[in-house]
């Protein structure tokens, strides 16, 4: 009995030793919208970056809106195309070749403002022009904040204020988005917990099979 179990056990142990860098075989994708562009990253569940892979952007109806390729760091960016309210949700599809593919959905909520501005083009035009005159890129946020707040024309200043707040928020959110991407990447890795869970399932199924074969014979 002992001799029967040993070799298989040996194989399992050997395999476990090799698994110290538990890596696996699935491509993932994470993306967010900032400053009118879609930023994203493709990576394997092993943590390797998905390099030089095509990414295609499609709208809700499946029409292709644009495409990009990932760079050596697995990152890609593509300009947010003009949207209509019915475009959402947008779908990004990354193909890694070898039969591997995954997608990421940018929902109406992710697209929030960009969809809203598509709905009211006049407001969008307004918010697009005001920031240029106040040059928020060179001025610091406080001074960029000032002029429209004290402008005599109240409705314009409200729109301009929103545009500037949005721009400032986009900049502030870049590190947060990057951190979320890193978290998503970590969550997609295979954990020891999952491996043990799988082995437990196999053991359980074995038990069920034993139960039924034992019952049949008894």
Partner 1 sequence: MHISEGVLSIPVLAGGWAVAATGLSLGLKKIEPERLPEVALLAAVFFVASLIHVPIGPVSAHLVLNGLIGLILGVAAFPAIFVALALQAVLFQFGGLVVLGVNASTMALPAVLCGVVLRPLLASGRRPVVMLVGGAAGFLGVLLSGCLTAASLALSGEAFVTTAQAVLLAHVPVMIVEGLLTAMTVGFLSQVQPALLAARRS
Residues at the contact surface with partner 1, assessed by CB under 8 A = 3-4, 6-8, 10-12, 15-16, 18-19, 21-27, 44-46, 48, 50-53, 95-103, 190, 194-195, 197-199, 201-203, 205-206, 209-210, 213-214, 217
Residue number, 7 or 175, with CB nearest to partner 1: 7
Do 96 and 51 contact (CB within 8 A), yes or no?
A: no
Closest CA to 96 of 19, 43, 58: 43
Cα–Cα distance list, 137 to 35, 39, 95, 147 (Å) = 12, 20, 36, 15
Instruction: Between 48 and 153, name the residue whose CB sits nearer to partner 1.
Output: 48
Question: Which residue number, 63 or 202, has a Cβ lying nearer to partner 1?
Answer: 202
DSSP string of 191-218, one letter each residue? PHHHHHHHHHHHHHHHHHHHHHHHHHH-
In the complex, what is the shortest distance from the CB of residue 181 to partner 1, in angstroms, rounded to a whole number?
18
Minimum distance, C-beta of residue 52 to partner 1, in the bound complex (Å) = 6
Residue (153 or 194) nearer to partner 1, CB: 194
Q: How far is the CB of 13 from partner 1 (least distance, A)?
A: 10
For residue 36, give every residue at least 6 positions away whose Cβ sits within 8 Å of its Cβ, in sequence order, or none: 79, 80, 114
């Amino acid at each position: 009995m002992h001799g029967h179990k040993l070799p298989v056990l040996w194989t399992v142990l050997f395999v476990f030793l090799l698994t110290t860098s538990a890596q696996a075989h699935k491509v993932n994708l994470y993306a967010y919208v900032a400053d009118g562009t879609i930023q994203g990253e493709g990576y394997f569940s092993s943590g390797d970056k998905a390099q030089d892979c095509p990414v295609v952007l499609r709208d809700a109806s499946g029409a292709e809106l644009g495409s990009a390729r990932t760079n050596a760091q697995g990152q890609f960016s593509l300009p947010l195309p003009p949207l209509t309210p019915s475009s959402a949700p947008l779908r990004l599809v990354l193909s890694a070749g070898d039969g591997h593919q995954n997608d990421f959905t940018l929902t109406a909520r992710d697209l929030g403002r960009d969809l809203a501005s598509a709905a009211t083009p006049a407001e969008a035009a307004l918010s697009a022009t005001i920031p240029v005159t106040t040059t928020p890129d060179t001025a610091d946020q406080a001074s960029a904040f000032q002029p429209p707040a004290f402008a005599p024309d109240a409705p314009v200043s409200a729109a301009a204020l929103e545009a500037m707040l949005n721009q400032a928020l986009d900049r502030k959110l870049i590190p947060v988005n990057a951190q979320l991407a890193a978290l998503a990447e970590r969550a997609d890795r295979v954990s020891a917990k999952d491996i043990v869970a799988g082995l437990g399932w196999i053991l359980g199924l074995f038990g069920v099979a034993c139960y039924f074969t034992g019952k049949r014979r008894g």
